[in-house]
Amino acid sequence: MPNEPPTVQVRFTDDFLRQVRALAKRYRQIQADIQPVIQQLEAGNIPGDRISGAGYTV
């Protein structure tokens, strides 16, 4: 369907998962804290502020 945005699949690196697991020992709610960001990425949104003059696009 032409009106639907492309589906984005969020994949985690091994290093990210290791760090989240380590942080989860101190911060029990870390998965609930990062879940909204993951959902934004999957919806195709790019969270954060745009920096003017930065011509680097990912």
Sequence-ordered list of residues with C-beta below 8 angstroms from that of 8, at least 6 positions apart, any chain = 41, 42, 43, 44
Q: How many domains does the chain have?
A: 1
Question: Residue 58: inside a domain, yes or no?
Answer: no
Which pLDDT does position 21 carry in this prediction? 95
Which pLDDT does position 48 carry in this prediction? 81
Which pLDDT does position 20 carry in this prediction? 95
Which pLDDT does position 38 carry in this prediction? 92
Question: Residue 54: inside a domain, yes or no?
Answer: no
Residue type present at position 18: R
Can you tell me the mean pLDDT for 20-36? 95
pLDDT band, residue 14 (cuts 50/70/90): very high
Quick check: 47 and 41 in contact, CB under 8 A? Answer: yes
pTM exceeding 0.85: no
Question: Residue 56: inside a domain, yes or no?
Answer: no
Domain of residue 35 covers 1-48
Going from the C-alpha of 2 to that of each of 9, 15, 16, 42, the distances in angstroms are 19, 36, 34, 18
From CA 33, how far away is CA 39, in angstroms rounded? 11
